[in-house]
Structure 1
């Protein structure tokens, strides 16, 4: 009887999450397909480190942007050893809108990306800053649509979440959880203005900011040591009285964040310890995710608790899959058969959380050749 009650409680939680995911999918802010031309100056900030294989395509997409007549593109080479700066200069092809800068040495207490963005912001002249990662490919109307989202909804920061490309089995198992996580758990409209740190989401792959609001929040110095600098930045903006959050960037940009299991494993090791806050928080998250999304599937398969437990487990499993289906359809992800593996996806994510904390406590975390403090 106790086992059945546990499965019923877990399945009820999965149903609640599925309903919340559907509500959020309906409320998620969407860009217009034909945004108006931007009348203000826009500065694209592109920090790069050992991205010679990526920077050319990223720049080409930015320079093909439409509806942004007053555009500057600032590229900062952050100590690359693979010829990134030369590749960026070749891709710019003498376009007067592009400047390729050389980054200063990393000061004590700073992490690489916030320091690079701080240097770029210091020389930017736009009233809107658009932070961009080198592995992002923009659609021609993406910049204009991002600025329109920012201004039309009176936001100070908006992160149009790019469509995440997942190719290998490991990527297809884990990457869809990025969008699912905030669609499933975060009350999006409340999160835009709430100063509570837990009610925050952003994606630094593509992020538009009001320059004045960034300055009020303390600039990128406010997140100088944050591994998840994007989430920390939206928290800083809201703490300074601003508004910000995520929007639908499915039609604006694509990004293949990691190319296979080793890169994915190491990338999540770098950040999951920070995302969960503390070992206690990480343990709680693993327990909740495992209980709500893995336990019902196990009960359905094994018949724990008898027939009642099996049926309750099937309900919970179905609700988890439904939540994934809604998220995938809303964000341009693959639906079938990937959504059916939702319990396995959650189990892998939980293992990555544990691994991240183990490496953190051993001092074994690094990213792009730099040890994390």
Structure 2
């Protein structure tokens, strides 16, 4: 038992050191005072039933500076809540904004990829950079200019400047920080940028910046038309076409509160987690590994302390603290909240495993849906 506890402590410590290296050495930081952008840039905003929360996002887009040739193309994807009227109320007669009405969803497409496909098709033909933004993202005034500068500095075809993820409810605070923690901990960022392997890919659709030529060469969103995780799949498709992708800390560029309650969060994760691991067996292996590394040590340590096995208790506590340290490093690197949330990292991992299991369960029962549409 002592050997197991020590092995877990060593493994978790190694992963935390990898998190630290990624965060301090390889994570890209967009400029805080970017030079003016002389390229034409199209910001593309897909909306479906977002009337209640689109105003902060669109207002922040209208406040962008440092891009002389900027257009904002908004697509109302068959909303039923007055989204188009809300867009008109915010945009007024600003000539940079074009509002489109989405076409009916064709067979073989999911909603988000089709909305992005339509937006890209209607963007200014002279735009050399496309910036896809979700409605729950609020950008700093220099965000678009800094994102374009970071894309060019990375010599990449696709860049994710990952926003600062906001969390309000207890459930959000337990689960949402795992987004940044997971790729900082398990993904070698420098290898991801240099390697042509599609399996080494990460991207976030909340704020996605692409070189127009590289996007078209990869087939755009048409190449990922039926993918639930269309952002990650787009990154893989870019790699398959010979392009490069990169991640950056976008916490100084944008804020994003993806969900406003545990119910929303559970629904959002459930619709897509099944697509993250390739197969149920792969998902099971990931969940078991995470539980073994991050949930078992504190339980093992407490049980050992209660029975007087203090060597095991010390090793279990060390593994727990190493996991907490990894969460703290990830939070500090991406503008997140470290304490006291990081102390509950084992609970976060358990909830994450439950969401994965729930996703596979509802998929087998064909009960997955999002925004009123089934998720195949």
What does residue 215 of structure 2 align with?
Answer: 214
Structure 1 residue 316: deviation in Å?
0.6
Residues of 1 paired with 2:94 and 2:241: CA distance? 37
What does residue 22 of structure 1 align with?
Answer: 20
What does residue 351 of structure 1 align with?
Answer: 354
SS where residue 66 of structure 1 aligns?
Answer: coil
Structure 1 residue 89: deviation in Å?
1.4
What does residue 58 of structure 1 align with?
Answer: 57
Residues of 1 paired with 2:197 and 2:303: CA distance? 41
Aligned 8 A contact 1:15 1:316 in 2: yes
- Describe how 1:200-211 pairs up with structure 2 within 5 A: 200-211=201-212
Aligned 8 A contact 1:7 1:295 in 2: no
- Describe how 1:328-343 pairs up with structure 2 within 5 A: 328-343=331-346
What does residue 122 of structure 2 align with?
Answer: 123
- Do structure 1's residue 280 and structure 2's residue 295 form an aligned pair? no
SS where residue 280 of structure 1 aligns?
Answer: helix
- Describe how 1:131-170 pairs up with structure 2 within 5 A: 131-170=132-171
What does residue 246 of structure 2 align with?
Answer: 245
What does residue 43 of structure 2 align with?
Answer: 44
Question: C-alpha deviations, 1:81-106, integer Å up to 9, x for none?
Answer: 00001111111111010000000010
Structure 1 residue 194: deviation in Å?
2.2
Q: Where does structure 2 lack aligned partners over 5 or more consecutive residues?
A: none
Aligned 8 A contact 1:21 1:183 in 2: yes
Aligned residues: 371
TM-score normalised by L of structure 1: 0.98
What does residue 7 of structure 1 align with?
Answer: 5
Residues of 2 paired with 1:369 and 1:116: CA distance? 15
Structure 1 residue 302: deviation in Å?
1.2
Question: C-alpha deviations, 1:137-186, integer Å up to 9, x for none?
Answer: 00000000000000112111110000000111001010000000000010
Residues of 1 paired with 2:162 and 2:62: CA distance? 20
Question: C-alpha deviations, 1:120-145, integer Å up to 9, x for none?
Answer: 11111211000000010000000000
Residues of 2 paired with 1:275 and 1:185: CA distance? 14
Structure 1 residue 58: deviation in Å?
1.1
Aligned 8 A contact 1:234 1:245 in 2: no
Aligned 8 A contact 1:193 1:242 in 2: no
TM-score normalised by L of structure 2: 0.97
Residues of 2 paired with 1:189 and 1:270: CA distance? 30
Question: C-alpha deviations, 1:19-50, integer Å up to 9, x for none?
Answer: 00000001200011100110000000100000
What is the root-mean-square deviation of aligned Cα atoms in Å? 1.1
Residues of 1 paired with 2:258 and 2:122: CA distance? 28
What does residue 34 of structure 2 align with?
Answer: 35
Structure 1 residue 4: deviation in Å?
2.6
Aligned 8 A contact 2:27 2:248 in 1: yes
SS where residue 42 of structure 2 aligns?
Answer: strand
What does residue 109 of structure 1 align with?
Answer: 108
Among residues 319, 323, 327, which one is paired with 2:326 in the alignment?
A: 323
Aligned 8 A contact 1:162 1:206 in 2: yes
Aligned 8 A contact 1:273 1:356 in 2: yes
SS where residue 39 of structure 1 aligns?
Answer: strand
Residues of 1 paired with 2:108 and 2:5: CA distance? 46
- Describe how 1:305-316 pairs up with structure 2 within 5 A: 306-316=309-319
